[in-house]
Structure 1
Amino acid sequence: MLDEVQQDPLGGVEWFDGLVRNAQKDRSFDGRDGGKGQVVRLSDIPDLAVGHSPKPPSLGHQRPHTVAYEVDGTDGAAGTASYIDATGVSRAVDMRVPWTFVMASPELSFSSGVTASADGSALACRVVIDGAVRLQQQGPSVVDCQVPVS
């Protein structure tokens, strides 16, 4: 195989079996190489682009959104609230005003909302996301607050 090695006369780099190798010559050889007067040792040329690149940045940790649904109106008024929970499922509950439901969702974006009704009571609903009021509505006996979270 060494017969197939070709030396680059300018750079001391040899091509051997398709791989670039660094030729380091040992000049202390005693001449038993058939009169060539040198021995060639082959070692890999380090590729600075491989294994020396910095680690990619980490994505960090996802912060969950805190969502609060609030229904307000005449204190003690009975009614029904329908809301979307953290898994995206619609839930219906009997409630008395004032009513609040708080949840945390690990999703980056999702739909959130609450619809409430109560006989004979003016109502207001609010959707509070991460401490900020995103939507507030009022109605005579029915209110609807729907907000996409992202």
Structure 2
Amino acid sequence: MGRITSSRTQLKGDPRHNSKLAGKFINCLMLDGKKTTATRVFYDALDEIGRRGEIADLTPIEVFEAAVENIKPYIEVRSKRVGGASYQVPMQVNRARQQSLALRWLLGAVRDKKGRPMHLKLADELMAAYKKEGVAYTKRENTHRMADANKAFAHFAW
């Protein structure tokens, strides 16, 4: 089992929008306990999305929430050992893991890009995820494709 954390019960929304998802993302973005830096990066990315004006009918926080919703995987493959052989078995993903994977893939995609300020890379990846493009969305599509390819082993998911 993993570590027991109190993050689900004690999680506070972000200061500006009071969104729990944004608060969780800021906590995941944070490195070395520097929450103010992580908060500034997140809000600068939202301001950059608003400044670009590509989406006129949505606020930047709604773009962020829609982008995370687009990245969430609904099915994944898990390794299952049956009779001495390991099979990649497609399984449903629960809501907490969907959100965790989406945030992890989003941050991984942003951190892998080099040479630009973090808030600009984050704004680019959020816009790409909103439009169903980008590295994080591709990761989701590859996960779904892998699960679809292995659906012959779905009967091992017990």
Q: TM-score, normalised by structure 1?
A: 0.19
Please identify which structure carries the higher strand content: 1
Please identify which structure carries the higher helix content: 2
Q: TM-score, normalised by structure 2?
A: 0.18
Structure number with greater Rg is: 1
